[in-house]
Chain A
């Protein structure tokens, strides 16, 4: 046992000290934090200050354009003069834009024009149209003799809230989108890590074989100890990386959260919902509704992101990740032992990569139907379960299925390790021989 720990230590330290490991470990969390933080900043930075002149020939909208609503940075000033004079001052760069509202003919709604040197951003257009729609609606409703209160009473406002009831009877507000996202990201990470670190195991074995140090080592330790030491040492390297990623990503997000608490206050959605309700029966409404409900989902997701059961999620992630890694890396080790050089790797890589690729492709379908037969079987079969179970997990998988899947995964990696050890033992001492599957089968069948 002492010798295995020596091997693990060497494998671990020699990799953790590498520059590439340090760079990856630091870069990963920055990228992940960026995925969460950047969208918030995008929403923030578009609010530059603009002054807009309003030439309102109808006179209906006087004082209706409020300054700096929702922190949008817009200032509206009344413009007295002719349309052309207004255009000239925009051209001269005095103002950002001129909002010209011509008097409509008859009962038509007024159609405003925004003159600006540059393409005005979408915020201005949305704010102007929603403000005007609100006013025109109000006027039209008044003409029909309907008060805003009556309208409010007529409105049907339906949002579906999903609540998960768990065994203890506790009810939790859930977010399907979040569940999908979280499941997909964790399965993607498992997929990536099995590949990256599985290949590292393979290269490590091949390096020992081609540098011919292997015979020196296996005269002091058993080939199985050397193989397991390598696999476990590299497992610790990836656990270190994953844990550092989780810790660093959380740290970065927490730092931003404390530095700018208002940007992370997800309950400020009332303003948007108001626009949503008041503008529902006009022509341009669907667009606004779409953008505002997108924001709503985004905010809900971000807020439930902090409510997820991270202890369960992370511990399951680590278990399935380790299981999947051990299962596949044993096979990768066998390949490294069977071949003589990198070019021969390809033919043996295919059968290993196929189940991995199938799982990541099937993950999409599983997300749509997380309790269907495809999802069930793929999350039970050891070769696909590490990836597929992570997709299903946020949709509350029954405990007995998780236990079954994990037990089969353990059996699976004991099986692959057993086979790999046989191939490894013969392969590492075999030089200059083109190996095929028939040959590998013979190695597996050798006794002793």
Chain B
């Protein structure tokens, strides 16, 4: 079941269209990556989901219901541009923001105590925010995002500003929340974290969605029939053993072990390659080279740009 659905959402500002008929389907209990270059319209979409701004056209559904103000209590949002009141004590501020999300004061106090201890910032309860380091402020912001146990969490670049230790802490917490049943929409430029965390993605470029689906499916679609072969026992040119149509992408040597990355002709299977090289070399490893999300991202965005230049509208 899809926990959140956007149907043909369009948002126009005076000069440009920020979103052009964008539809997304976020499966329940998934981590859904919202990808796209800067200015593609990701933040606009996220703001529409949070009902900060209203779309010009299109419909949005949460749990099958039309999106409405009461739903803000079910959503936790950590914006990319985030801050806190500088001259307000941390604890009081966390209480205030929790109460705005509809948590009662007593409840919020109990939960905050637990989370503050978990994130090791309990000593900062009475300190003013301006005395905190950036990383600590981020922790406070993360805590108030999840304090009301939202069903849908939206993180816009959640790892920016964290050192590796705290980034891991946050990542583990996100995975923990997913285990407990939450769904996460995750907007980022960091492709490594997309590969690591996301189950599904949507790629938005120039206000349009250009790709959506499961990460594993997308990778399969974009595979290029390339394989990585590690071998030794042959020092000549591997390509000379292969017929026309095979391409050598890269060759390297590590500790007397040679590695070749080879692109096969579209109709050939990996077995054909192995049969060709087996009589000559000792194979140590053989695996398919799936494209990284980074490659797919760059390829799709550039492809989009090329079509744009061919057909200037």
Residues of A within 8 A of B (CB): 3, 6-7, 10, 14, 207-208, 211-213, 215-223, 429, 431, 442, 448
Which of B69, B78, B83, B100 has the most chain A CB atoms closer than 10 A to its own CB? B100
Q: Does B47 sit at the interface, judged by CB under 8 A?
A: yes
Known contacts A211-B84, A212-B81, A213-B84; is-contact A219 B50 (Cβ 8 Å): yes
A-B contact pairs, 6 of them (CB 8 A): A6-B96, A216-B79, A219-B50, A219-B75, A220-B102, A223-B52
Chain B CB count within 10 A is highest, among A212, A219, A442, for A219
Quick one: which of B84, B85, B101 has the most chain A CB within 10 A?
Answer: B85
A10-B96, A429-B52, A448-B56 given as contacts; is B77 within 8 A of A216 (CB)? yes
Decide: B83 and A218 in contact? CB cutoff 8 A: no
Q: Tell me whether A429 and B47 are in contact in the complex, defined as CB-CB below 8 angstroms, given that A6-B100, A215-B82, A216-B144 are known contacts.
A: yes
B52 engages A218 (CB within 8 Å): yes
Q: How far is the CB of B142 from chain A (nearest CB, A)?
A: 11
Within 8 A of A (CB), among B117-141: 141
Interchain CA distance A25-B32 in the complex, whole Å: 54
B79-A221 in contact (CB<8A): no
What is the CA–CA distance of A429 and B84 in the complex, to the nearest angstrom?
15
Of B51, B86, B99, the contact of A211 (CB 8 Å cutoff): B86
Please, which residues of chain A bring their CB within 8 A of the CB of B102?
A: 220
Q: Which residues of B contact A221 (CB under 8 A)?
A: 100
Give the residue name and chain of the A residue nearest to B79 (CB): A215
Contact yes or no, A212 B14, CB < 8 A: no
Chain B positions within 8 Å of A216 at CB level: 77-79, 82-84, 97, 141, 144
Q: What are the 5 tightest A-B residue pairs by CB atom distance, in nearest-first order? A: A212-B83, A211-B83, A215-B79, A219-B77, A220-B100
Tell me the complex Cα distance, A216–B83, Å: 8
Q: Is the CB of A213 within 8 A of B54?
A: no
Cβ of B81 and Cβ of A217 under 8 Å apart? no
Task: Type the 1/0 row for B51-83, where 1 means its CB is closer than 8 Å to any CB of A.
Answer: 111101000000000000100100101110111
Cα of A244 to Cα of B56 in the assembled complex, Å? 49
| B192 CB-CB contact with A under 8 Å | no
Give A16 to B194 CA distance when docked, in angstroms. Answer: 47
State A78–B5 Cα separation when bound (angstroms).
109
B18 to chain A, nearest CB (A): 12
The answer on a CB contact under 8 Å between A212 and B82 is yes
* CB within 8 Å for A14 and B84 given contacts A6-B100, A219-B72, A220-B72: no
Q: How large is the interface on B (under 10, 10 to 19, 20 to 34, 35 or more residues)?
A: 20 to 34
CA distance A212 to B77 in the complex (A): 14
B274, CB-defined interface residue at 8 Å: no
Q: Cβ of B101 and Cβ of A220 under 8 Å apart?
A: yes
With a cutoff of 8 Å between Cβ atoms, the chain A residues found around residue B241 in the complex are none
Q: Is B88 an interface residue (CB 8 A)?
A: yes
Q: How far is the CA of A159 from the CA of B82 in the complex (A)?
A: 71
By a CB distance below 8 angstroms, the chain B residues around A218 are 52
Which B22-60 residues have a C-beta within 8 angstroms of A? 47, 50-54, 56
Contact (Cβ within 8 A) A6 B99: yes
CB distance from B50 to the nearest CB of A (A): 4
In the complex, which residues of chain A have a beta carbon less than 8 angstroms from the beta carbon of B72? Answer: 219-220
How distant is A443 from chain B, measured CB to nearest CB, in Å?
Answer: 9
> Quick one: given A211-B85, A213-B83, are A219 and B56 in contact (CB under 8 Å)?
no
Find chain A residues with CB under 8 A from B54 CB.
Answer: 448
Q: Across the two chains, which residue of chain A brings its CB closest to B99?
A: A6
Give Cα distance in the complex from A249 to B96, angstroms. Answer: 36
Residues on the A chain within 8 Å of B78, using CB: 216
A211-B83, A216-B84, A219-B75 known, 15 other contacts, Cβ within 8 Å: A208-B85, A211-B84, A212-B81, A212-B83, A215-B77, A215-B79, A216-B77, A216-B78, A216-B82, A216-B97, A218-B52, A219-B50, A219-B79, A223-B52, A429-B52
Q: Is the CB of A213 within 8 A of B52?
A: no
Q: Which of B51, B53, B88, B100 contacts A3 (CB 8 A)?
A: B100
Please indicate the chain A residues that have their CB under 8 angstroms from the CB of B85 in the complex: 14, 207-208, 211, 213
CA distance A128 to B102 in the complex (A): 81
What is the 8 Å Cβ interface bit string for chain B, positions 79-121, against chain A (1 contact, 0 not)? 1011111111000000011011110000000000000000000
Known: A220-B72, A429-B47. A215 touches B100 (CB 8 A): no
Residues of chain B in range 185-233 having any CB-CB distance to chain A below 8 Å:
none
What is the distance, in angstroms, from A212's C-beta to the closest C-beta of chain B? Answer: 3
In chain A, what residue has the closest Cβ to B130? A211
Rounded to whole Å, the gap between the CB of A374 and the closest CB of chain B is 42
Give the shortest distance, in Å, between A225 (CB) and chain B (any CB).
10
Residues of B within 8 A of A6 (CB): 96, 99-100
Using Cβ atoms and an 8 Å threshold, which residues of chain A touch B53? 429
Nearest chain-B residue to A208 (Cβ)?
B85
Task: Kindly identify which residue among A222, A223, A431 contacts B81, using a CB–CB cutoff of 8 Å.
Answer: A431
- Chain B positions within 8 Å of A7 at CB level: 100
Chain A residues with CB below 8 A from B141, complex form: 216
Query: Residue of B at shortest CB range from A3?
Result: B100
